[in-house]
Chains A and B, each alone.
Chain A
C-alpha cells in the first residue's frame, strides 16, 4: 500500500512536462544491415472502415490499403520518379503516354504475384478496374476515372465491359481516354482501382473486405474490427528480400494521449497522432529533437467568399479580405503543425509554386475597403462594412480556431464577422447550397498528387451546383476554366504547371477564396526502427522499414507483474511523469 501511495505521489509531483527517452538509442551506433524479422506496432486515432480498396477513401484505411494492395504505379517524391517524373513503378515496370495523350500503355512487371500465389496479369488489372467502376460498386471516387473510354456506359450498367481498358497481352495493357487527361497517372496511384486476386471475381461483393487479397507487400493476418489490423509479410512480393518485418500491428481508435503513453512504454514503435503540446515536448527534448520526419504538406485551409451574393459579389471587398489575412499570425497559434501559405497548392504536391501569392498588407486592405465603398478608419473605428457578416466554420476543430483569428484580422479593416460554428454535416450541407452562405472556412486535402485537385473541384464553374456545390465560392470565370481544361489535357508537366500558375494569378486577382495555411504532420519512431522514411503522399509506408531487435532489447511489453509496487522497473523502459491535463 505504501508503495502504491508513493507511486501516486511521485506521479502527482512529477508533472515536469518531460517525455521518456528514446528506447534502444544504441541502434544509432550499430552498423547492422537491413534484415528480416520482428513486429512493427503503430496506431491511429481513427478507425479503418473497410479493407476493400474499391469502396474505401478514408484516411485511416489508406495506409493499410497501400500495404495490402499494389497499384500499377505509385507516387514518388516530386521529380524523383521514373525519368525524373513524379511516378515510380509498382505493378507496371514501364508506361508510355501516346503523343496525342489519349492512350497510356503499361508494361507489367514479370513475377508479380497476388497473395494467393497467382500471377498478376493484364487481365487482372482490367478486372480490377471493372470491378471498381461497375454500376453496383459504391466506389466514392469513381468520377476520377470518368475520362476512360466507355466509362459512362460501363459505370451506368449499359455496357458489359470497360471498352477503354484494352488487354494487349499477359503483361501489356492500354488505357484509352476520351480526351487527354494528365491526371490519369495520379489517380492510378490510388488503391481505388487496385487489382485484386482472381478469387475476388468481377463483381463487387460486400464480404471481400473481410478477407482481402491483393498484390501488396503484406497480407492480412486478422482484422479485429475497432481494435487492430494485423498484417503479415507477403514473401511473394515482387521486390526480393522485402518487406523486412514479419508483422505489422496497426491499432485503431487509440486516443493521442494513450498513443503517447504506449510509445513511451515501448508498446508502440511509431507515433503520428500528437497533441500540439506533446509534439512540442518531443521536438524540444534533447534526445528526440533530431529524430522523426515531417510529412509533405498536402492540406491547405483558408476561407471562401460567395461571389454571387452580397457583400462578396463586390470584388474589392474580397480583395480587402485577402489582404487582411495574415498567415503568420494564424500559424503562430499552432506553431508545430500549421504553416503559413499564400497559394492553393501545398508544398508537398507537384506543381507547388514557392513564390509569394496572397500577401498580408493591411494598408492595401484598407485601400480595397475604400474602393469597395466602405472606407474604414482604424484609428477611430469609424466606417467599414455596415453589417455583421456570418462566417460558417467548424466547431471543435482547428478550423474554428482559425476562424476566430480571421474574425480579429477582418475587424482591423472594418469587416465585422459573426462566427457560426457547425458540425461537419451541417457545414457541408449549408456551405454547398447556392445563394446561402456568404463566407466560411475552406480546406482541401489532396485526393491524389496533382495540382488539378486543388483547382478543378473547388473553383471550376463545372463544380457549381444548386445543392452540394463543391465550388463554394460559386466562382465562374471562363478564362480560368479554359486554363484548367488546357492544363488537364497537356501532356508536358512543365506546361501544365505554367498553366496552373496563370490560373492562380486569376484567383489572386479575383479572390474568390484565400488559402492561408497548410497543415503538416510529423512522424516519430523509436531508434530501433530502421530504414523508414515518410512516404511522399500518404503516411506510414512501412514496406522498407526493419527492426533492430537487439537495440529494442527489453522494450517489448513487460508482464504486469514486473511493475507491481515494490518491484524495480525493467531498465530498458525509460518512464517519466507526463503532464496531467496537457495532452488531449
Chain B
C-alpha cells in the first residue's frame, strides 16, 4: 500500500513537471516555426510552417492534444503509413506517443530509444568511476587524517569540484587521446567493444568531477563513524584497523553516499550535456540541449519526461535500498 501511494505520488510529480515544462516551453520568447525554417525565413513561409506543425493553435488546444496523444489505446500493430499512429510506441493496445521532432522529422520515442543505451552506458560508467575513486580515496584520506596524503587529497578534490567539466574534458582529450593516443578522441563506436573504449574519456570527465565530491563526503563520514562508540568497542575487542574500517565503519559511512549516488545516477540518465557535446556522445543530454536551442517542443517534452522519470525512479530505488541496508529503516517502515 505504501509503495502504491508512493508510485501514485511519483506519477503526480511527473505530471506536474511535464505540464510546467509544456507551459514554459510555450511561453519562452522565440518562435519554433522560425527555428524550423531558419532565421531568414519569410513571413509567408512561417505562416505555412506554423500551420503544418499545429503551432498556430492556442496553448490550451496544444496541451489538450499533447495530453490526449501521450497515452492512448490503438491497434496493436498499426499500419506504418497510418499518420495517426506513426509516432507511437506500442505496448500491445497501449500507445505512448511523444509526437514527431520538428527538426529531425522522426518520432520522439524512437529518438529517445536510440539514445537511451548510450546515456545509460555513460551514466553507469561515470558512476562507477566516481564511486570507486571517491570511496577509495575518501577512506584512505580519513584513515591517514592530517597526513600529506590527506591534505593533498582534500586540495585535489577542491580542484576537481572547481574545474568545469568542459575544461577537464578538453584536458583529458588532449592528453589521453591527442598526445598519448590511449583512447579515441570522441564518438561512440560501432560495436559494444568499441564503445567500451569510447566511453573512457567521457566517463572519466564526469567521474573525476563526481569523485572529488564523493571523496570529501566519504572522508567526513568515515571520520564521523570512526569516532562512534561501536568503532571504539571494535578496536577495544582487538579488531584490526582494516576490519574496523572495512567491515564496520565503511558500511555505515556509505549510507549517505547511497542517496547521493542514486540521485546522481538518475541525473546522469537524464543526460550529461557538456560532456556529451564535447565527446560527441550520442546521448540524451546532447539531444536535449539541441532541442532547447532549436525550440523543438516534442523533443524537449520527451527528454524532460525521461529525465524526470529517471530521477523519480532513482529516488524510489534509493529509499527501497535503505530498507535493505539499514535494519532501522525497515523497522521505521512498519
Q: Which residue of B lies closest to A557 (CB)?
A: B184
Task: Kindly provide the distance from the CB of B34 to the nearest chain A CB, expressed in whole angstroms.
Answer: 6
B40→A457 contact, CB < 8 A: yes
Q: Which residue of chain A is the closest to B282 with respect to CB atoms? A: A226
A:399-440 near B, CB below 8 Å: 423-426, 428-430
Separation of A226 and B42 alpha carbons in the complex (Å): 28
A47 within 8 A of B: yes
Q: Are A7 and B180 within 8 A (Cβ)?
A: yes
A428's partner among B30, B49, B52, B180 (CB-CB below 8 A) is: B30
Which A residues touch B220, using CB under 8 A?
none
The reply to whether the CB of B219 lies closer than 8 angstroms to some CB of chain A is no
Cα(A226)–Cα(B179), bound, Å: 26
Give the contact stretch, choosing among B185-193, B237-245, B308-316. Answer: B185-193
Closest Cβ neighbor of B186 among chain A residues: A258
In the complex, the answer to whether A261 meets B53 with C-beta atoms within 8 Å is: no
Interface locus among B4-12, B103-111, B136-144, B319-327:
B103-111
Question: Number of B interface residues, CB 8 Å?
Answer: 56
Whether a CB of chain B sits under 8 angstroms from the CB of A28 is no
Contact of A262 among B43, B49, B86, B185 (CB under 8 A): B185
Contacts of B28 in A (CB 8 A): 425
**CB within 8 A of B170: which of A10, A257, A423, A445?**
A257
Spot the interface stretch: A78-86, A177-185, A506-514, A572-580.
Answer: A572-580
Tell me whether A196 is interfacial, beta carbon within 8 Å.
no
A575 close to B105 (CB less than 8 A): no
A425 contacts across to B, CB distance below 8 A: 28-31, 34-35, 295
A584 to nearest B CB, angstroms? 9
The answer to whether residues A209 and B282 also contact, given A11-B174, A138-B49, A429-B30 and a CB cut-off of 8 A, is no
A193-B270 Cα distance, complex, nearest whole Å: 39
A8 contacts B by Cβ under 8 Å: yes
Count A/B pairs, Cβ under 8 Å.
156
Chain B residue nearest in CB terms to A205: B81
Determine whether the beta carbon of A255 is less than 8 Å from that of B277. yes
Q: Which segment of A50-58, A235-243, A534-542, A544-552 sits at the interface?
A: A50-58
Residues on the A chain within 8 Å of B114, using CB: 225
Asked whether B258 is an interface residue with its Cβ less than 8 Å from the other chain, the reply is: no
B43 and A470 form a contact (CB under 8 A): yes
Does B173 contact A258, Cβ atoms closer than 8 Å?
Answer: yes
Q: How far is the CB of A82 from chain B (nearest CB, A)?
A: 28
B48 touches A142 (CB 8 A): yes
Query: Given A560-B181, A564-B182, A578-B178, do A143 and B31 touch, yes or no (CB 8 Å)?
Result: no
Knowing A457-B42, A564-B182, the reply to whether A227 touches B188 (Cβ < 8 A) is yes
CA gap between A142 and B183 in the complex, in Å: 47
Residues of B within 8 A of A429 (CB): 29-31
B186 near A254 (CB under 8 angstroms)? yes
- Interface residue? B300 (CB, 8 A): no
Identify the closest chain A residue to B187 (Cβ). Answer: A227
Q: Are B45 and A255 in contact (CB under 8 A)?
A: no
In whole angstroms, how far apart are the Cα atoms of A569 and B178 in the complex? 12
Query: Interface size for chain A: under 10, 10 to 19, 20 to 34, or 35 or more residues?
Result: 35 or more
Known: A425-B28, A428-B39. A261 touches B45 (CB 8 A): no
Contact, CB under 8 Å: A468 / B40: no
CA distance A447 to B39 in the complex (A): 11
Task: Provide the bound-state CA to CA distance between A10 and B53, in Å.
Answer: 55
Instruction: State how many angstroms separate the Cβ of B225 from the closest Cβ of chain A.
Output: 34
Chain A residues lying within 8 Å of B161, measured Cβ to Cβ, are none
Chain B residues near A206 (CB-CB < 8 A): 86, 100, 105
Complex contact B282–A227 (CB within 8 A): yes
A250 on interface, CB distance cutoff 8 Å: no
* Interface core residue of A55, A138, A428 (most chain B CB under 10 Å): A138
8 Å CB contact of B185 from A261, A424, A575: A261
Q: Determine whether the beta carbon of B38 is less than 8 Å from that of A140.
A: yes
Residues of A within 8 A of B115 (CB): 226
Q: Kindly list chain B residues whose C-beta atoms are within 8 Å of the C-beta of A10.
A: 179
Are B178 and A142 closer than 8 Å at their CB atoms? no
Given A141-B41, A226-B287, A444-B40, 8 further pairs, Cβ under 8 A: A57-B41, A251-B280, A257-B170, A258-B278, A261-B178, A425-B295, A468-B34, A470-B40
23 contacts between A and B (CB under 8 A): A7-B179, A7-B180, A11-B175, A49-B104, A57-B37, A140-B36, A140-B38, A140-B49, A225-B104, A225-B114, A253-B280, A254-B186, A257-B170, A258-B173, A258-B186, A424-B30, A428-B39, A429-B29, A457-B42, A465-B43, A560-B181, A580-B171, A580-B174
Q: Which 6 A-B pairs have the closest CB atoms?
A: A425-B30, A563-B181, A140-B37, A11-B179, A138-B52, A426-B29
Q: Which residues of A contact B (CB under 8 A)?
A: 4, 7-8, 10-12, 14, 47, 49-50, 52, 55, 57-58, 135-143, 146, 155, 206, 209-210, 225-227, 251, 253-255, 257-258, 261-262, 264-265, 267, 423-426, 428-430, 444-445, 447, 457, 465, 468-470, 560, 562-565, 569, 575, 577-578, 580-581
